[in-house]
């Protein structure tokens, strides 16, 4: 399956600041997805990062808060903007792998906002 490198692995940030999370895949993929996992909760899809076009956001998530870049088929970034303690979560990127449509996840970024 695809190997995904995600960084940073964790960070503690001051409220009001922004953090950019990077996701690098070892092969070209059409779609990349960003998820949020709040403490003790399930995973929620934030957006789909499309190469060459704007990201597609799910209900409840907006571009101003979670801007996404997708400059090529192996890389994407998610920025968490103007952070508040409610943004404290694990953020994960994910890619579908091959015709089998299995999804592989990055190791996640554990964000704590203080």
Partner 1 sequence: GENVEQHPSTLSVQEGDSAVIKCTYSDSASNYFPWYKQELGKRPQLIIDIRSNVGEKKDQRIAVTLNKTAKHFSLHITETQPEDSAVYFCAVSFSRGGADGLTFGKGTHLIIQP
**Residue 101 makes contact with partner 1 by CB under 8 A:** yes
Residue 73 as a binder of partner 1 (CB under 8 A): the answer is no
Kindly state whether residue 19 participates in binding partner 1, applying the rule CB under 8 A. no
Q: Which helix (H) or strand (E) holds 47?
A: strand 43-50
- The only residue of 39, 42, 86, 114 in contact with partner 1, by rule CB under 8 A: 42
- C-alpha count within 13 angstroms, C-beta hemisphere, residue 83: 19
| Shortest distance in whole angstroms from residue 48 CB to partner 1 | 6
Q: How far apart are CA 62 and CA 26, in angstroms?
A: 28
Q: Does 104 bind partner 1 (CB under 8 A)?
A: yes
What is the b/e burial string over 43-81, where b = at least 16 CB atoms within 10 angstroms of the residue's CB? eeebbebebeeebebeeebeeebbbbebeeebbbbbebb
Residue 45 as a binder of partner 1 (CB under 8 A): the answer is: yes
Among 20, 43, 61, 65, binds partner 1 (CB under 8 A): 43
| Residue 67 within binding range of partner 1, rule CB under 8 A | no
Q: Say whether residue 103 binds partner 1 (CB under 8 A).
A: yes
Task: Tokens for 79, please give them.
Answer: 């920025």
β-bridge partners, 100? none
- Site for partner 1, rule CB under 8 A: 30-31, 33, 41-45, 48, 58-59, 92, 94, 96, 100-108
């Amino acid at each position: 399956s695809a190997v995904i490198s995600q960084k940073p692995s964790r960070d503690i940030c001051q409220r009001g600041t922004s953090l950019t999370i990077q996701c690098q895949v070892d092969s070209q993929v059409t779609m990349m997805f960003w998820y949020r996992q709040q403490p003790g909760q399930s995973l929620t899809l934030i957006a789909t990062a499309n190469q060459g076009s704007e990201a597609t956001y799910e209900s409840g998530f907006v571009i101003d808060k979670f801007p996404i870049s997708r400059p090529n088929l192996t890389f994407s970034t998610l920025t968490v903007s103007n952070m508040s303690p409610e943004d404290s979560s694990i953020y994960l990127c994910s890619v579908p792998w091959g015709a089998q449509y299995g999804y592989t996840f990055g190791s996640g970024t554990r964000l704590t906002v203080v």
